[in-house]
């Protein structure tokens, strides 16, 4: 993302837009956008060409597709969240660690696709279960990830596609040397 977004909105306004299915595009979102699961999230989430100070999604079941493209995240957590209709992360930069632990659960015909991103912090897939296809390609994992580890309870119902990534993919502990 080379230019600053044209609009500045609060995290509260961003949530209100997403609740009715409106995509966030070309926005600088001030504050932490929180989607904390009590019920299923039934609208698709599309965030594109944005700068987010923070996104925290926890214990949420996303019934529709969640996609992030060309977006800069200062902080992002997607823990204990299920992406039934898939998760797409493309051409994004994550300034700090990304925690995806205990999530996944995409349906067979809806892939998890993580392509062409830069992750400046550790990316945690501990205890994730992917019931649909997973494609993780051409990413830069600066501080590594555990997506290809042997002892992190990561389950794939289909062999994952892990191609042309840089950085360690098989870290067994987040704070390993």
pLDDT for 95-117, tens place per residue?
999 999 999 999 999 999 999 99
pLDDT of the residue at 78:
95
CA–CA gap between residue 5 and residue 39 (Å, rounded): 31
Domain boundaries, the chain: 46-177
Give mean pLDDT, residues 128-134: 97
pLDDT band, residue 176 (cuts 50/70/90) = low
Give mean pLDDT, residues 59-86: 96
If one compares 137 and 174, the residue with the highest pLDDT of the two is: 137
Q: What is the mean pLDDT of the chain?
A: 94
**Around 109, how many Cα atoms within 13 Å sit in the side-chain half-sphere?**
1
CA–CA gap between residue 99 and residue 96 (Å, rounded): 10
Burial of 17 (0-12, 13-18, 19+ CB in 10 A): middle
CA–CA gap between residue 72 and residue 64 (Å, rounded): 22
**N-to-C CA span, the chain:** 31
pLDDT band, residue 177 (cuts 50/70/90) = very low
pLDDT of the residue at 2:
53
Answer for the pair 56, 31: CB distance below 8 angstroms, yes or no: no
CA–CA gap between residue 88 and residue 29 (Å, rounded): 20
pLDDT of the residue at 40:
85
Give mean pLDDT, residues 159-168: 98
Give mean pLDDT, residues 38-49: 91
pLDDT band, residue 3 (cuts 50/70/90) = low
């Amino acid at each position: 993302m080379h230019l600053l977004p044209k609009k500045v909105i609060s995290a509260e306004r961003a949530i209100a837009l997403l609740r009715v299915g409106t995509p966030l595009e070309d926005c600088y979102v001030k504050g932490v956008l929180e989607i904390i699961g009590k019920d299923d999230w039934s609208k698709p989430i599309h965030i594109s060409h944005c700068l987010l100070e923070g996104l925290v999604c926890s214990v949420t079941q996303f019934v529709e597709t969640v996609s992030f493209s060309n977006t800069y995240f200062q902080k992002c957590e997607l823990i204990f969240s299920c992406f039934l209709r898939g998760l797409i992360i493309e051409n994004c930069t994550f300034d700090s660690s990304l925690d995806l632990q205990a999530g996944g659960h995409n349906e067979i015909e809806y892939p998890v696709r993580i392509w062409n991103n830069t992750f400046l912090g550790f990316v945690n897939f501990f205890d994730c279960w992917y019931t649909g296809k997973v494609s993780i390609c051409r990413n830069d994992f600066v501080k590594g990830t555990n997506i290809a580890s042997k002892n992190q309870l990561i389950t794939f119902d289909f062999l994952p596609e892990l191609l042309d990534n840089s950085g360690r993919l098989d870290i067994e502990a987040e704070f390993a040397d």
